[in-house]
Structures are given as structure tokens and as C-alpha cells.
Structure 1
């Protein structure tokens, strides 16, 4: 008598190859995010160098400059750093909203069996870092508990940029898993920001924001993509959500959710996918790098490094990113395989997955944003959070590189086999063989 579950009830192979249309779409996303990750790294490095140079006062002045000082009645008297965090990141979260809806409506995640792995891995990658942070700070007296969510996020652009440098031949299943994990991770981050980091909540502006969002949804559902109508509606929705006390980036997510995914009967790309192709380069190439430039500029001049490295907030963030993320993502995936009898794809080993779990510890954009929301932009704790996120992300990148570089030759061999197209029809033979 066999103890295997019936084939119809078993999970598909973990990290298995995706459908050919999904593979092509993910390839486009990965290329854009990898370039965006390089720009993000550039913005962060420039900010760090400027903030620690003899001209650091100019960096602080630029970050604190208020371009519209008379905008207080509309809650628009924001500094350049605040505009980057509240304004430009709304574009980033709009793309996240589009991507989330597409994945769960038309992507591979519409299948609950395929969705199980990234959801479970993202949950583990959220709970373990939070537990690491809370354990460290409770032992130190509990003064920094408000920052518990800082190490729970994964920065997909940063991670993919590192991945492109250390291992360009990583199997598609792992690359797709990292991207999907980050998408689900972003969903949890949105919930955390909306629920736990909303200050001074005002109901009327939030209710008012539903009006432009509803009109926006009506227009896009009817495929009326008039920029002169949609952009003002999106701007009004953003301003009202900002005035309500809810973080304004939530407006971007709601607008992304309003866009239809499935194409009309004529076929072609759905509106969500078309808008994602249009706005992802803006998000990855402009919004996130500019935010990184204003968020990463922590000055270490005259800082007590010994005190910094013994601060419980710093230790908690670093431990959460480096240890919590790796154990959470890898451990939850291993337990899922153990208790469901699911198996890894034949081209992937647990060592590969462990390297990817380490890579998930690169937390940057959302981690820095939560740090600002938790402790206040410009505060002493916020500066220490920035240093901790940078240190934890760097350590995670280095450790992941050690694991993944050793696998690069194997990745190259697998990539060459899967990309073979003997009949020249533009579709790799491996996908055609699956249909025979």
C-alpha cells in the first residue's frame, strides 16, 4: 500500500517551470527590475557618499527643501524626501497593485496549489524576522518595539540586481519564485502599513477618496484610458488618502486593483498588463531610485560606531534580515515540502533555495519606508534603522553570493539546454516537448 497522495491532490513540483506565456512575461519584468535595481544601488551609493562628505549639509538641505510651502491646507507642504516617500512610491505601489491582481486573476497564482508555496514562504519570511526583532528588543527593555515590521520586507529590485551580477544563469523557476515571493511580500507589507502605521486617522477624506477611485475604476473597466482624466483622478485620490492619515501609497495599490486584467474577446494583452509595461520602467527607473537617494543618506560622521552596533534596534533589524528571512523562507518551504510530499523541480536543489532565501534578506525600499513611519523621518532611531537596513542587506547579499556563485556553472548548463530552439520557431524546445 503506497502512502503517496493521489496525483490530483498533490502539489505541483516546487519551483517548477512555468507556462511559456508566463515565462515571457516574467522575463520582461526581470529585465526591467534588474536595471532598476542597478539604478537603486547607484542612488543609494551617491546618497551615502554625499551624506558623509564635507558637503553633507547640501544633502540635508535638498532632502528638507519644501517646493510648495503654501500647500499646508491640502497636506502638500512636503519636503523633497517626503515627496519621494509618499508621492513617487505611490507609483511603485500602483505597479505592485497591477502585478498582484494580474498574478491572482490570470497568472500562475490563480491556481491555489501554485499559490501555496510563495504565500507560505512569504508568511515565514515575515514572521521569523519580526520574531527576531521582537526577541532582541524585548530583551533590551522594549523601547524600540514599534519597528517590529522593518525587517519583514524584501526589495525585489535590489535582490534581482545582485542576482544578475552573481548568477545570470539561475534557473527560471528560482527567478520566478523570487519575483512571486516579493509580490506576495509586498501584499503583506501593504496590509502592515495600512493597519499598524496609520497615524491621525480621519475618516471623511478617506471616504472622499473612494469617489475618484470609483470614477477611475469605471473608466478603466470601460477601457477609457484618457490620460487627461485618469491622472487627475489618481492625483486627487492620492491627496485625499494622504489627508486621511493612511499612508498615501495605499492609494496607488487601490488604483492598481481597479484595473481589469483579462483582455476583451478580441484577445491581445489585458489592460493591467499594458499599464504595467508602461509604468514599471517609471517605477523601477525613477520612483524607487529617487526614493533610495533620499532615504539611504545616513551620515556616519561623528557617530559612535560601538554604540550603533550595540543598539537593539540595529541588532534586531540586522538579525531579522540576515537570519530571520533566511530561516523563515527556507524553513517554511522545507516544511511545506515535508508535510505535502511535494518535491523540488529536478533542476533545483535545496542549496539553490537556501541561497535564494538568503537573497530575500535584502530589504531596502519598504524596510526604509516602515522605519520612517515607525520612528519618524530624521529621528535618531530612523538614522539607525537606515544604517541597520543597509548593513543587513549587504550581509544578506554577500552570504547569498557565496552560495549562488558556486552554483553558477550548473545554472549555465541548465540554461543552455532549456534555451535550445532547434526548429527556429522562437519557442524553446523544452516547452514544445511538454505539449507532445
Structure 2
């Protein structure tokens, strides 16, 4: 039997997830995500209602309207502009948070990163395997990554509504889990959902991103103080990088992540610049970019071409998000606490951790994006969209069942 000092040593490894500075930063971030998550829900609901009402004809005509310069191959539909263009802003914010976590957050230390990182991989692998089990041997298997993503804004909004008083360690666990989940999703999109690559455009895009990074680092203090320089200097450079990535065949949202990675988050003026960018661009991301994408992506006619709910695509997505996510996250966390020196925070109960794992099954934004990249035929795409939305609602119900018990029943 392990000695008491050894037990305390193990416990301290997880308790380092929550110190006062990191807990305060996480609380600020969660509060910032809450309004955006609620707005995304409302926008998705509006799109779904519009697609299934007398407004359907006008709604689909609006979504399919083409705008942009044809000579530059940017004559895209408004739906594609939302997925390829506006979501680049969302992925820029994801990239900023990723870098902050790896440079100045919980992920900078192996001892505090190992549990949420491993749990995130479990929460990706198990849903993917479940989906493949339903679709193996068919073209639909290409959508294996759809049930692997977590929508942090949506999940945070739901968490604040159903379990506002869960332990701080679990809040940080969910945030870190979602951040790593986003990194995995970005890597999957870049590696597996890229068509033919135009090397000249990719090389030019990377060169433009390097210029962006040099300017951001060299003039970080001035950019942080200026009200107009980030918009008039860095934004146009970012748009050029996005356009080149779009032309290269790599999904254009990846440009947003790489641009964010070049923003300094430590050193003289660095942290201040990252914070300024977050403060200025988050309303654009959570208030406009993601809700507009959700409005168009959620517009699926129930009586249309979809084969929901008994098609293997729908079953694989729903089982992956609702069952696979909490199973993968909880199983990997249990294995770590069983066979390594890691232990859960003493304030955390397994029931609550399973509930947070279930909440990670709210895949919405990134899952809908991967759906756009996975299927060319409307029937499969609509089936997958409906499955993502239904699974996200079911995941909320499962999470509530684990997180809403009276406090006296804990343990």
C-alpha cells in the first residue's frame, strides 16, 4: 500500500492545474466565451427554423449567393465564405489560446498537461473508431473526424447554465481538454482534409505569415498601444495569407491558426499584445464569425434529402459524440490515475468528470466544418449536419444527468 507522502505527491501533480493566477485567467476566458456560446445557439436555431419554414426559399437563395472576384477564384457562396473566411477569425482566436496554454498556461508543464492532453486524445480516438465501425467499407468513412471535435463556446455556455459551481479544477480540465481537442482537429483538417496542394501558393502564404510574425514581434509594444495599427497593418497581411492558403488547397482556416502562433505571448510587450488581440478580435469571432457560420451550417431541411436518423453516417456521429466522447475521456483519465503517479484533484468526483466528458460531445462548430469538408453530396452532408445537431443536444442531456445531482449526493 502506498505511503501517505507518496499519495500527497501524486495529488499535487493534479492540483498544480489550479493556482490562483491560472484559475483567474480561466474564469475570465470562460466568462468571455459564455455570451458567444449563447449567441451561437440562437443563430443555429434561427438557421434551422428558416430552413424548415416559409422562409426556406429565401434562406437557401441567400446561402447560395456567390460574391467575390472570380479572377482570383474567390467567387464563393455566402455559405462557403462563412466556413472558409469567417471561421479563419475563430481559428485565429483558437491559435492564440493554444499558444498561451503552451507558453504560459497549464500545457507548459508535463505534470499538469499529461492528463488533459491524454484525455483529449482518448476523446478523439474512441469517437473516430465508433464512427468507422458504423461506416467501414463505404465512402462515408471519410467523415471519421466529424465526431472528434468539441465546441468550446457552446460547451462553456451549457456548463455555466447547468453546473455553475463545479470545482475550478474541472473548469480548467474542460478548457485545457477543448484547447488540445482544437489542436488535434486543426491537425486533422490540415493532414486529411486537404485536396491537391499548390506548392507555390503554400510557400507564398507561409512567407507572408513570416512577415506578419516579424512585424508582430518587432513592434509588439507599439501595436499593443495603438488602436488602429493592428487593423490597418496586420489585418491586410493576414487577409493576403488567408487568400494564398485558400489558393494552395490547404483549408484556409489553417492560416488563422498559423498567424496566431506568430503573435508573441511572453517577453517585453508580448503578453500585452496577445491580450489586446484577444480583447479586440474576440467580439468579432464570437459575435459575428461563428454565429454567421452556425446560421448557415444549421440550415437543414428535415424533410429534404437527408437520411437521418438511421443512416450509418448519423448513427456513427451520434454514437461517437454522445457515447465515444465521455467514454474516451473518462477511460484514458482512469487509466492514467490507475497506472501512473497522477491523481484527480480531491475536489473532483468521477461522476462530475464523466459529465464534463459528456459535455465535450457538443461538437457543433468544428464538427459542422468537418462535415462540409467530408461530403460532396447533399444527402450525406444534410444527414451529418442533423446528426451533429441532434448529438450535441443529446450530449447536453447526458452531461446534465451527471452534473445536476444535488450536492448532498456527491461521492
Q: How many Å apart are 1:9 and its aligned residue? A: 7.7
Q: How many Å apart are 1:275 and its aligned residue? A: 1.4
Q: How many Å apart are 1:17 and its aligned residue? A: 5.5
Q: Contact 1:238–1:249 (CA<8 Å) still a contact in 2?
A: yes
Q: Which residue of 1 aligns with 2:226?
A: none
Q: Which residue of 1 aligns with 2:264?
A: 260
Q: Which residue of 2 aligns with 1:404?
A: 403
Q: How many Å apart are 1:203 and its aligned residue? A: 0.6
Cα offsets for 1:369-415 (capped at 9, x unmatched): 00110113x6211111100101111111111111111156789xxxx
User: Cα gap change, 1:77/1:358 in structure 2, threshold over 3 Å: closer, same or farther?
Assistant: same
Q: Which residue of 2 aligns with 1:430?
A: none
SS of the equivalent of 1:403 reads helix
Match of 1:115 among 113, 116, 121: 113
Q: How many Å apart are 1:303 and its aligned residue? A: 5.8
Q: Contact 1:325–1:357 (CA<8 Å) still a contact in 2?
A: yes
Cα offsets for 1:66-121 (capped at 9, x unmatched): 122xx122121111111110111101111111111111111121111101011101
1:197-346 residue pairs with structure 2 within 5 A?
A: 197-222=193-218, 223=220, 224-225=222-223, 226-227=229-230, 228-264=232-268, 269-301=271-303, 307-346=307-346
Q: Which has the higher helix share?
A: 2
Determine whether 1:91 maps to 2:95.
Answer: no
Return the alpha-carbon distance in structure 1 between the equivalents of residues 46 and 2 of structure 2: 60
Q: Contact 1:198–1:247 (CA<8 Å) still a contact in 2?
A: yes
User: Cα gap change, 1:57/1:247 in structure 2, threshold over 3 Å: closer, same or farther?
Assistant: same
Q: Contact 2:44–2:298 (CA<8 Å) still a contact in 1?
A: yes
Q: How many Å apart are 1:26 and its aligned residue? A: 1.2
Q: Contact 2:364–2:392 (CA<8 Å) still a contact in 1?
A: yes
Q: Contact 2:15–2:169 (CA<8 Å) still a contact in 1?
A: yes
Q: Contact 1:98–1:256 (CA<8 Å) still a contact in 2?
A: yes
1:31-42 residue pairs with structure 2 within 5 A?
A: 31-42=31-42
Q: Which residue of 1 aligns with 2:162?
A: 166
Return the alpha-carbon distance in structure 1 between the equivalents of residues 402 and 15 of structure 2: 18
Q: Which residue of 2 aligns with 1:425?
A: none
User: Cα gap change, 1:280/1:74 in structure 2, threshold over 3 Å: closer, same or farther?
Assistant: same
SS of the equivalent of 1:270 reads helix
Return the alpha-carbon distance in structure 2 between the equivalents of residues 343 and 79 of structure 1: 50
Q: Contact 2:11–2:346 (CA<8 Å) still a contact in 1?
A: no
* TM-score, scaled to structure 1: 0.88
Q: Contact 1:81–1:294 (CA<8 Å) still a contact in 2?
A: yes
* Structure 2 runs not aligned, ≥5 long: 224-228
Q: Which residue of 2 aligns with 1:105?
A: 103
How many equivalent pairs are there? 402
Q: Contact 1:12–1:114 (CA<8 Å) still a contact in 2?
A: no
SS of the equivalent of 2:264 reads coil
Return the alpha-carbon distance in structure 1 between the equivalents of residues 4 and 143 of structure 2: 44
Cα offsets for 1:282-329 (capped at 9, x unmatched): 21222111110010111012567xx52220111110110011101001
Return the alpha-carbon distance in structure 2 between the equivalents of residues 15 and 320 of structure 1: 30
Return the alpha-carbon distance in structure 2 between the equivalents of residues 360 and 161 of structure 1: 12
User: Cα gap change, 1:24/1:67 in structure 2, threshold over 3 Å: closer, same or farther?
Assistant: same
Q: How many Å apart are 1:346 and its aligned residue? A: 1.7
RMSD, matched Cα: 2.1
Q: Which residue of 1 aligns with 2:122?
A: 124
